[in-house]
Amino acid sequence: MELFRLGIHEIRELLDKKEVSPKDVLDSVFSRIASVEEKVKAFVTVTKDRAYDMLDDALAENTILSGIPLAIKDNMCTKGIRTTCSSRMLENFIPPYEGTATSRLRGYVLAGKTNLDEFAMGSSTENSAFHTTKNPWDLSRIPGGSSGGSAAAVAADECIAALGSDTGGSIRQPAALCGVVGLKPTYGRVSRYGLIAFASSLDQIGPITKNVRDSALLMNIISGHDPLDSTSAPVTVPDFTASLGRHIKGLKIGVPKEYFIEGMDRKVENAVRDAVGKLESLGAIPIEVSLPHTEYAVATYYVLAASEASSNLARYDGVKYGLRVEGKDLIDMYMNTRAAGFGPEVKRRIMLGTYALSSGYYEAYYRKAQQVRTLIKRDFEEAFKTVDVIATPTAPEVAFQAGEKTEDPLKMYLSDIFTISVNLAGVPAISVPCGFASQEGGAASLPIGLQLIGKHFHEQTILQAAYAYEQATDWHKRRPEL
Amino acid sequence: MHYEAVIGLEVHAQMSTETKIFCGCLTKFGSEPNTQTCPVCIGMPGALPVLNKKALEFAVRAGLALNCGISPMSRFARKNYFYPDLPKGYQISQYELPICEHGFLEIVADGGLKKIGVTRVHMEEDAGKNIHEGAGNSSLVDLNRAGVPLMEIVSEPDIRSPKEAAEYMKKLRTMLRYLGVCDGNMEQGSLRCDANVSVREEGSKGLGVKVEVKNINSFRFVEKALEYEIKRQIKAIKDGGSIIQETRLWDSDAGITQSMRTKEEAHDYRYFPEPDLAPIAVRQEWIDEIRASLPELPDAKRQRFVSSYSLPEYDADILISEKPLSEWYEEAVNAGGQPKAVSNWMMGEMMKLLNEDGINIENCPLKPEQLADMLSLIDKGTISGKIAKTVFEEMFRTGKDAESIVIEKSLVQITDKDAILKAVDEILAKSPKEVERYRAGEEKLIGFFVGQAMKLTKGKANPAALNEILKRKLSDK
């Protein structure tokens, strides 16, 4: 049996029945990594030796995750394990502490730290300072980003499941492009303590998994208020697996007209419309809704995220940790360090954000963007007065060719056009596989993602709908050939 | 033409919380460098701040005592700038919505009372410290102080002279110490001050160009720095020049202010709301609780000391200057000490001994009841006021009670007339020449006889009885 193919709950069952041993699971996953990682390049660091060393301790925890190998995006601090953010700046940074989300994954075994766009800024992993991760469905294409490493590792079966982080679509877009399930929780649902900040008011950690049940299962584990994160919400955490398998008869599904736009990939549009049809056949009621401020989302996002990033990344100054490039004086050292440590996209956003916050521009950019953010939030509140879930495409197109958009940042930014509003509004959303787009010339078909957006702290509802859809379709059973 | 100064002060007071404002590290002063740090205050990637509720409470306490309104909704903001002692590259401070606003502090000016407006009180974190000695060409950074809570108390430009500025600082320090929110230790940097100064023609309503003077770290320097800066500005104007808006640094060794940066070179701090901290909502009930827990403040206490204990203003002023001193005083009075006598002994002997030993009132080895007991021995005539000084010092040094000291050292006053008579007879017999001269009219020699008799009785003779007997004997021819 190819154990690496399985998800968390399937492995758990086999382990509990003692049909396989925990070592079998590790052997299977690490041999899979050994055979495909060279092609996929999902990881920055593979932690194989440590995984075997830690196995006994992991089993002693006796949890649902005990002995199960997961991959963690390399922007979450793992104590004693290099955490790079795929940046030269932190190439040799070993955190002295563990973040909250990963410390809640008691009993898990770390398979490795996955690649990302430097500091989570990008939509393809091409901004990684180390290497670009390949889309397991077509190695000439990108896996999406910024959690491209985690999504590719899950799709290529190099781990059982993974954690990613999502600031403007960084879990959902790569999940869609890699044909796996990715969930961005409500802002405040999962602690950010230990997540290396890109944009504090938007960042959120979430699961990337092979199926919806595993997504719910990981949500049960990582969610909940954390006294170390003031923005984590003191709300009770339901059992997210409880709603799985419930029918969706009468569930009102909003279809926003602003998300089916001119110029989007016809195959994506058709797949998503078919998916809405499938949900309707399961008893859900599609209703057209409007999110009128959608067209301002990308601009709003790039002002706010860049503003926060310009401040969040100020700590990388060569003084305390990370890269230092000496100079003739202090200012020189600062400039040499930051010139050498950050890649072009990070520098671009730091400059953008610094500009937007500068005196004389603050009102026109930062303040205005905050006001628009409020309007976007209201759009969702308004829509959710009439519907339970909103269905949209996750990304406007399927995985694109490596190098296709690297010369045009604006084009790259538009990859997140359907995911960004969700972060601005703080609501939860999940991406599930909803079809494949065939390519010309006999190349492998490429996955398409359906995004289901929910009300604040209503992850159960989108999980319920996603699960119903998943159970009624076979998309999630397909695997790339590697 | 006469000029007047317009001064506003920005005082940074370190809050005396046990732990830092956004993490659990200790705030203790003087520890080994970088031993009171954690991922949060070092600015590690991924670490997040969590507000110390005590710091919020302290800021509210100060705000209430300074007659401020407490904002029901307040926010932190990031102040962005690069410096090695600032680990995150920004300081978490408050900008648009400070916790306290629109208060005042009353000071004594020109013999009357004057209200100095308090624009705002806000919370922020302190930075670390750069150390330039002992590292060759490089500098070292100590982050023990990074994240220690500060209150920034900003006054209105209501101050008109360096003396008023010093008064304001002193009053503020006393107030903060009363509230227990800041230890006011200027040597350790617990209280630091920047001043905004401009000058204008007396009687004019407009404001001159303002200069910010930084690095003023003692009461003495507040006055000196401002005096210097005001003179400098007046001279510049009288010489036909003009003042430029700039930041100047007070150099206490040279006694001058020096230009640090002009307006054009000023930082753009790019303030924006701190996204890692939710807005602070303060409930009215909590504010009321804090208000109810405020101690009696210095002004009220001074008035009460004057009216209840009939103390002169001067005495009351000194006694209330430190809360523990005023408490010591009241305990002594409550233990039966006569109010003015207690005040005299405290301001005289006790202050002298405390100063000599370099200890503060909190560590005074003498208990208030001991002073009260000693005073009652004087009242009863057991010891004389003169002997009491010896007793007092002995109590202070040994911690023993007045009564045991008096017995141990046999210091009981001799009031027995026969005993005094005997001593007088002995003295007069020994000094026939002086007796003759006295009787010849050299009456100031009485002091000599008193001295001799006191020496003989080891100072224990009741002075009044001695005087009376001496005079009688000397006039007996």
Query: Where a domain ends, among B274, B289, B304?
Result: B289
Pair of tokens at residue A84: 């790079």
Residues of A in Cβ contact (< 8 Å) with B141: 319-320
Residue B411 has a pLDDT of 67
Q: Is the dihedral of CA B431, B434, B440, B442 positive or negative?
A: negative
Q: What is the CATH number of the domain that holds B456?
A: 1.10.10.410
Contact B82 A317 (CB under 8 A): yes
**Residue B129 C-alpha, separation from nearest chain A C-alpha, in angstroms:** 13
Residue-number span of the structural domain to which B330 is assigned: 296-408
Pairing of strands A446-453, A429-437: antiparallel
Single pTM value for the model: 0.90
What is the least distance, in Å, from the CA of A341 to any CA of chain B?
15
Neighbour order of strands in the sheet with A204-209: A43-46, A109-114, A69-73, A161-166, A204-209, A181-184, A429-437, A446-453, A389-393, A252-256, A285-289
Residues of A belonging to the active site: 73, 146, 170
Q: Which member of A95, A199, A359 has the closest CB to residue B44?
A: A95
Number of residues in chain B: 477
Q: Which amino acid is at B163?
A: K
Q: Coil, helix or strand for B342? A: helix
Q: How far is B87 from chain A (nearest CA, A)?
A: 6
Residue B450 pLDDT: 84
Out of A201, A230, A317, the one facing B89 most closely (by C-beta) is A317
Which CATH number covers residue A19? Answer: 3.90.1300.10
Q: Do the chains contact at A358 and B89, CB–CB below 8 Å?
A: no
From the list B43, B46, B50, the residue facing A320 with the nearest CB is B43
Do A240 and A304 fall into the same domain? no
Tokens of B142: 């100590």
B275 vs A315: CB contact, 8 Å cut-off?
A: no
Same domain, yes or no, for B465 and B401?
A: no
Nearest CB neighbour to B90, from listed A75, A95, A311 = A311
Q: How many CA atoms lie within 13 A of B234 on its CB side?
A: 15
Give the whole-angstrom CA distance, residue A185 versus residue A183.
Answer: 6
Which residues of B are less than 8 Å from A196 in CB distance?
45-46
Q: How far apart are CA B458 and CA A475, in angstroms?
A: 111
Which residue of A230, A333, A424 is the best one to mutate when testing the B interface, meaning the one whose CB has the most B CBs within 10 A? A230
Q: Would you put residue B136 in left (φ > 0), alpha (ψ -120 to 50) or beta?
A: left
> Is the Cβ pair B141, A99 closer than 8 Å?
no
The pLDDT assigned to A365 comes to: 96
Check CB contact under 8 Å for A230 and B278. Answer: yes
Taking alpha carbons only, the member of A45, A13, A52 closest to residue A29 is A52
Count of pairs with CB atoms under 8 A, one residue in A, one in B: 100
Q: Which residues of A touch B275 (CB under 8 A)?
A: 199-201, 231, 308
Residue A442 lies in a domain: no
Asked whether A291 and A417 are in contact (CB, 8 A), the reply is: no
User: How far is residue B327's CA from residue B157's CA, in Å, rounded to a whole number?
Assistant: 34
Contact between chains at A230 and B44 (C-beta distance less than 8 A): no
User: How many whole angstroms separate alpha carbon B288 and alpha carbon A436?
Assistant: 64
- By a Cβ cutoff of 8 Å, what residues of chain A touch chain B? 75-77, 83, 85, 90, 93, 95-97, 99, 192-197, 199-201, 227-231, 307-308, 310-311, 313-315, 317, 319-321, 330, 334, 354, 357-359, 362, 366
- Given A186, A219, A251, the domain boundary residue is A251
Query: How far is the C-alpha of A436 from the C-alpha of A267, rounded, in Å?
Result: 8
| Rounded Cα distance, B166 and B224, in Å | 10
* SS3 (DSSP) at A396: coil
Per-residue pLDDT tens digits for A344-391? 999 999 999 999 999 999 999 999 999 999 999 999 999 999 999 999
The nearest CA of chain B is from the CA of A112 a distance in Å of 19
- If asked whether residues A330 and A245 sit together in one domain, one would say no
Q: In sequence order, what are the residues at sequence separation of 6 or more whose Cβ sits closer than 8 angstroms to the Cβ of residue A277?
A: none
In a domain, A464, yes or no: no
Cite the beta strand spans of A366-411 per DSSP E: 389-393
Residue finishing a domain among B254, B289, B324: B289
What element of type H or E holds A306?
helix A297-312
Is the domain of B88 the same as that of B157?
Answer: yes
Contact, A436 vs A449, CB < 8 A? no
Contact state of B45 with A229 under an 8 Å Cβ cutoff: no
- DSSP codes joined into one string, A100-125: HHHHHSTT-EEEEEEP-SGGG--SSS
Q: Is residue A268 part of a domain?
A: no
Q: Are residues A303 and A219 in the same domain?
A: no
For the record, the structure tokens of A348 come out as 């671009």
Tell me: do A112 and A176 sit in the same domain: yes
Say whether both A235 and A351 belong to one domain. Answer: no
Q: A197 contacts in B (CB within 8 Å)?
A: 45-46, 276
Chain A positions touching B90 (Cβ under 8 A) are 311, 314
Our CA angle for B201, B202, B204, nearest 5°, is 70
Kindly identify which residue of chain B lies nearest to residue A333, measuring between CA atoms. B84
| DSSP 8-state assignment for residue B168 | H
Residues in chain A: 482
A462 belongs to a structural domain: no
> A231 with A299, same domain?
no
The residue type of A254 is: G
Q: Are residues B325 and B460 in the same domain?
A: no
What is the per-residue pLDDT across B276-322, written as a single tens digit (0 to 9) for each?
Answer: 999 999 999 999 999 999 999 999 999 999 999 999 989 999 999 98
Nearest Cβ partner of B88 from A229, A314, A334?
A314
Total structural domains within chain A: 2
For residues A42 and A418, what is the distance between their CA atoms, to the nearest angstrom?
25
Task: Specify if A474 maps to a domain.
Answer: no
| Helix, coil or strand: residue B72 | coil
DSSP single-letter state for residue A46: E
- Closest chain B residue by Cα to residue A315: B88
Residue A96 lies in a domain: yes
Residues of chain B with pLDDT under 50: none
Is the same domain home to A299 and A246?
A: no
- In chain B, which residues touch A (CB < 8 A)? 39, 42-51, 78, 80, 82, 84, 87-90, 141, 268, 270-272, 275-278
Nearest CA in chain B to A308: B275
Predicted pLDDT of residue B371:
87
Q: In terms of domains, do A111 and A59 share one?
A: yes
- The residues near B307 (Cβ < 8 Å, ≥ 6 apart) are none
Rg (CA), chain B: 30
> Are B386 and B459 in contact, with CB atoms under 8 Å apart?
yes
A359 to chain B, closest Cα gap in Å: 7
- Say whether B46 and A195 touch across the interface (CB within 8 A): yes
Q: What pLDDT is recorded for position B203? A: 85
Q: Which residue of B has its CA nearest to A228?
A: B50
Q: Do A194 and B51 touch (CB under 8 A)?
A: no
- How close is the nearest chain A Cα to the Cα of B127, in Å? 13
As beta bridge partners, residue A453 has A390, A429
The reply to whether residue B46 touches residue A230, judged by beta carbons under 8 angstroms, is no
Q: Nearest-CA neighbor of A285 among A260, A254, A256, A257?
A: A254
Question: Last residue of a domain, which of A370, A402, A437?
Answer: A370
Best B276, B277, B280 member to test A by mutation, with max A CBs in 10 Å, is B276
Instruction: Provide the sign of the torsion angle of the four alpha carbons B461, B465, B471, B472, taken in this order.
Output: negative
- DSSP characters for B51-71? --HHHHHHHHHHHHHTTPEEP
| pLDDT at site B432 | 84
Distance of residue A346 Cα from the nearest chain B Cα, in angstroms:
16
Angstrom distance (rounded) from CA A196 to CA A73: 10
Produce one character per residue of A182-196: b if its CB has 16 or more CB atoms within 10 Å, e if not. bbbbbbbbbbbbbbb
Query: Do A51 and A161 lie in a common domain?
Result: yes
Helices B463-475 + B446-456 axis angle, to 10: 120
Find the helix packing angle between B463-475 and B417-430, rounded to 10°: 50
Pair (A243, A349) in one structural domain: no
The count of other CB atoms within 10 Å of the CB of residue B287 is 16
Domain span including residue A176 = 3-251
Give the strand order in the sheet containing B149-155. Answer: B69-70, B100-109, B112-125, B149-155, B3-14, B191-201, B211-216, B246-251, B256-262
A230 → closest Cβ in B43, B48, B89: B48
Within 8 A of B84 by CB-CB distance, chain A residues are 317, 319, 330
Whether residue A444 lies inside any domain: the answer is no
* B282 and B422 both lie in a single domain: no
Question: B268 to chain A: which residues are within 8 Å by CB?
Answer: 358-359
DSSP A193: T
Determine the Cα–Cα distance for residues B121 and B66; give it in Å rounded to an integer: 9
- B216 and B262 in a single domain? The answer is yes
**According to the model, what pLDDT value does residue A461 have?**
98
Q: Are residues B404 and B439 in the same domain?
A: no
ipTM: 0.95
Q: Which tokens hold the place of A449?
A: 């993602």
The answer on B397 and B319 residing in a single domain is yes
For chain A, list residues with pLDDT below 50. Answer: none
Residue B195 and residue B8 in contact, taking contact as beta carbons nearer than 8 Å: yes
Q: Give a yes or no: residue A388 inside a domain.
A: no
Helices A212-222 and A459-472 meet at what angle, rounded to 10? 160
* Contact across the interface for B88 and A96, Cβ inside 8 Å: no
Using a CB-CB cut-off of 8 Å, the residues of chain A touching B270 are 310-311, 354, 357-359, 362
With vertex at residue B275, the alpha carbon angle to CA A358 and CA A217, rounded to the nearest 5 degrees, is 140
The domain total for chain B is 3
Query: CB within 8 A of B441, min separation 6: which ones?
Result: none
Rounded CA separation A303/A311 (Å): 13
Q: Which residues of A touch B276 (CB under 8 A)?
A: 197, 200, 230-231
Q: Which residue of B has its CA nearest to A198?
A: B46
Whole-number Å distance between alpha carbons of A131 and A154: 18
Within 8 A by CB and 6+ apart from A386, the residues are: A252, A254, A287, A289
Phi then psi for residue A230, to 5 deg, are -65, -20
Asked if the bond preceding A359 is cis, omega within 30° of 0, the reply is no
Residue A335: closest CA among chain B residues belongs to which residue?
Answer: B82
Are residues B138 and B8 part of one domain?
Answer: yes
B450 and B357 in a common domain: no
Same-domain check for residues A99 and A247: yes
User: Which of A312, A329, A352, A366 has the most B C-beta neighbours within 10 Å, making it the best mutation to test the interface with B?
Assistant: A312
**In this structure, are B300 and B285 located in the same domain?**
no
Distances (CA, A) of B292 to B19, B69, B242, B477: 24, 15, 51, 74
Decide which of B270, B289, B308 is a domain's last residue: B289
Mark whether B184 and B308 lie in a shared domain.
no
Chain B contacts of A319, Cβ < 8 Å? 84, 87, 141
Q: Where are the alpha helices (DSSP H) in B216-367?
A: 219-238, 284-292, 298-309, 313-320, 323-334, 339-345, 351-357
A18 and A156 assigned to the same domain: yes
